[in-house]
Amino acid sequence: MIVLCSQSPTRALLLQKAGIDFVQKPADFDEEQITTTVAKDFVYAASKGKLEAAQRLYGLEVPLLCADTVIAAADGTILRKAKDVNDARAILQKQSGSTIAIISSLHYKSTTHLFTDISATHYRFAPFDEADLEAYLESGLWQGKAGGCMVEGFCKRYIKEVRGLESTAMGLQVEVLKPWLFLNEKSAMKN
């Protein structure tokens, strides 16, 4: 059993599909205090900040799992969660017909172990159809998504090339986490 310190339904779904037993509890961390403009540094600091906040709230009786995801545009600009529909439109237009990197960082901590990973999945998109984009914006499904991007939804039909794991792009690289959890569990059973 682990505590997923995230309110993300997508991360919860990824853990469920991977057969990982968890409870979901929020861990608030103010990402606005992060000043770096480098995407991988930003996402690492955000997931680590969430871990520190979760540890203060919940302790380590049950291992904690925290994650964060950002998108790096082709020019390196960090594309975070859109503040409103106009922000979402601008962010998504920056991705249209371009290449992006979706970067996810996770921190897992128990009383005896700490595991950290930063992974990226790269996508090359065809230009987005304007009417399709407007329908997506109207749906509100972009809300709460890094860069407004849903590679499992709206963006899927525009993918021309992908390098990396879809789970990373969805916010939690379970294929990287799961083997490590198994090793950690075996180690705990020996003690």
Residues contacting 64, CB < 8 A, separation 6+: 2, 3, 5, 27, 51, 54, 55, 58, 107, 108, 109, 110
172 vs 150: CA distance, rounded Å: 14
Dihedral sign computed on CA atoms, order 16, 19, 23, 26? negative
Q: Which helix (H) or strand (E) holds 93?
A: helix 85-95
Q: Which of 41, 68, 87, 132 is catalytic?
A: 68
Residues listed for the chain: 191
* Matching residue, tokens 């600091």: 45
Which of 101, 117, 95 has its CA nearest to residue 162?
101
Residue 73: C-alpha distances to residues 90, 97, 114, 137, 144 (Å): 12, 11, 30, 19, 18
Q: Say whether 132 is catalytic.
A: no
Mind telling me the catalytic residues? 68
